[in-house]
Chains A and B, each alone.
Chain A
Amino acid sequence: MSIGHTLLGLLESGPRHGYDLKRAFDEKFGHDRPLHYGQVYSTMSRLLKNGLVEVDGIEAGDGPERKRYAITEAGVTDVQQWLATPEKPEPYLQSALYTKVVLALLTHRDASDILDTQRSEHLRMMRILTDRKRNGDLADQLICDHALFHLEADLRWLELTAARLGKLAEAVAR
């Protein structure tokens, strides 16, 4: 999961302070693993350096977390690319996929496109596995089956998510 892209995505809906970003991130994606302030700070300075964000203003007070960040054109393009690129099919993708879907909804992009793209990528993998299974021995078959079932589980979760996009959009907008 890319924290940088996630924070960038969160900025797309409007400029935010560093602590705002951390709070939004924790609330939406970090249920079991909240971000450290340091992580936010280092990520934002990297993004700043790459020209993906700019400093929109500094509030009176002390500490770097008082800076207000805004996304740049380049930043938006970067988010777009990231969302459109399917994740490499592998076990335990859920957090990355979930983040992408939520961000797409937050930024009013079509989340079902993400799902379709991801399904396509998964299928590509599954075709390879299916092929290997068909030509392989029993051990190959069992190993491939394990992978196939996991990939299928991802996709089923995706399908379910897609079916629930409407509800999710409501929840995210809240």
Chain B
Amino acid sequence: MTPRPQLTAASPGAGPAPGAREDSRRAVPARVQWSRDLAMGVRFAFTGGREGWVRVLLTGVGVGLGVALLLLTTAVPNVMQARSDREYARMDLVFGAPDKPEGDNTLLVANAGTEFRGLDVRGRRLEPEGLRAPLPPGVSGFPAPGEMVVSPALKELLDSGDAALLRERLPYRITGTIGEPGLIGPAELAFYTGGEDLAARLGDGGVRRIDTFHAQKAPAEKLDPVLLLLVLTIFVVLLMPVGVFIAAAVRFGGERRDRRLAALRLVGADSRMTRRIAAGEALAGAFLGLVLGTGFFLLGRQAAGTVELFGFSVFPSYLDPAPVLALLIAVAVPAGAVAVTLLALRGVVIEPLGVVRTARPARRRLWWRLLLPLAGLGLLAPMIGKGGDSGNFNEYLVIGGVVLLLVGVTALLPWVVESVVARLNPGPVSWQLAVRRLQLSSGTAARMVNGIAVAVAGAIALQMLFAGIQDDYTKSTGQDLSRAQMEVSVPKEVSSEGARRQLAGTRGVRGAVALADSSISDRRLDPVSSVGLTVGDCAALREVARLPSCREGDVFAVRGVQDDTETPRLAEAGRKLFVDPSYQGSTKGAEAAWTVPGGIKEAAPRKDPTGWERGGFLMTTGALPAAAAPALSGRVFLTLDMAVPDVHEHVRNTAARIDPLTEPMTYTATERSERYDSIRTGLFVGAACVLALIGASLLVSQLEQLRERRKLLSALVAFGTRRRTLSLSVLWQTAIPVALGLVLAAIVGLTLGGVLLKMTAVPVTVDWLSVLAMTGIGAAVVLVVTALSVPPLLRLMRPDGLRTE
């Protein structure tokens, strides 16, 4: 082992005499010495008996979990890209794209998508017009009418037995499955079925004629700067605790290691050697962590294919870490492990006869700890207000500022814990035990909760940002849910009155009102002025305007709608108008002529159930010129009995029976931007992972601490300490620093949130409920950890610990 025992050099108090050290080194070049010491550390890590194995395994698993999470993160851009690529590789119904001329290479596609109990089902009706018609990705042959190919997830759902209502809507024979290339995720519900006579419906919105599924290239869309800010913050917020966690994992079992190093000092290792050996041990743990982490990641990758979180599922093949980032992890984690170890050893003098903490560590100073968050604020300050005028944020400044603010949490927390705990007065015994312990080693406690504090501070800031910009990304739909809960739009080919009757007879439908819309204008072709025309019976018309009186055959002109200056001009008795005029270069309209009658009544505007206040003309069905009938596309507003289970599904089934191209819509009060939604989803997924990880690390250090105190616990039990007292003291010991951490996290989080909101030029409001919720989650983690550490505590409190023989 050591070249030569140097007991004189290893006398306590004095470091090795310089001469002696030189002497021992002369034979070995420094490089060899280095690698030998590191190797010895690695060997110690693995040959420390059962205890050693447990320690290195704990570190390995801890680091591994962190590494897996990091790898997952590096794969996230790939996931997004892969999903978007798949989406664009099957893009068929593109709005605004002109239909292709019919040929033997064209395909008619109609939207047949539906919704089932809140799950979106992507559906297409396909009708090839020739042998060279393009096949959608993942499909090997066109399904005939009455047949369909389905995604595995949809097949499973249909087979599951409680999807009878969906099966009723999709009564087609399943002839195959959609392969992976045709799906954006394993949990996606999708089907293709055969269509008939779709050419006749080509004018309708839902039908297209295409000659390829690859018409659109995935655009390199630039993320909205505010959304970019969100994404950056989420990444920083989620990754910081992972870093904190890895740093904590590297120090698992540190005290035992220090004692072993002391033993090495006794047989002649100098203090530099011990440091290198410790670094070697840390390296071993970090490398094991890298191996395990890769394993966890690969396992998680496979498992990811079977998991669906918040409607988001991915194929394992999407989870490809970016090589450069993966390499960075492979280098940074071991380097970080060594750095943390050496840093931790800085405050420790390992003497041959034991470990000496540098006598009473200097009182923690506040100023440089405050400097970090202040510097963070300083970085963010110049960008205040930039979000409003769609300007750009400097990514580096954002990341730097957020990181500094959050690192500020980890720097401030030890100071806060120390100064608060020093002022706490002992109360009951359990409290006294906890407080005194914290006073003695507040640093350990602070380190333990750092991860939670950072995560919560970040999450609070994000919550605020979300809540603040919610208005921007959440549009109020204006839909009046008290008047109608669903709407079914009916294609031109279908009589809206017939549809109304069928829908009214559906289970759970209380009322159904049918309206049909078209336009009416001053000229047959290329009109100068054009207004809306709404057709329905009196009851239906009352839904969209206030009528003085109404009899079948009446016609109304709506007066008093803002911005509608046309209607009064057109509503002159005797004026000749045209329903559904034609436009140059577009499909010919119905062009039905109609003369404004003498007794035209005036109606006052009223918002319809969709929140639209319409102007133009209203006609009772009898007043409509016969020629105009084909020009009407109908809508049926439904009021539902929400107590009937699956009432929406019943309506959708009826609608599908009426015509496959009907489009049922469920009203909601608000709708959010989808991209905004997916970012929020990402935050929740990430936060769930990070909190689980932090909980695990808390538990490990808690258990380790308990094991260290086994003898003391037994002695305390011997003189009659109640189990409750000790359990409570364990709870306090975690709860006090966590409470302080949460308070600090709330302050920093609110500050950060405020600054971020200012940056996006949104008025600062505090969503106290979400602050409460986030701190609550943090507190819940503590409770769970305490609850999990109580059984081992009770086991350790058995008198076996007193046995010395």
Are A and B in contact, CB atoms below 8 Å, in the complex?
Answer: no
A interface residues, Cβ below 8 angstroms from B: none
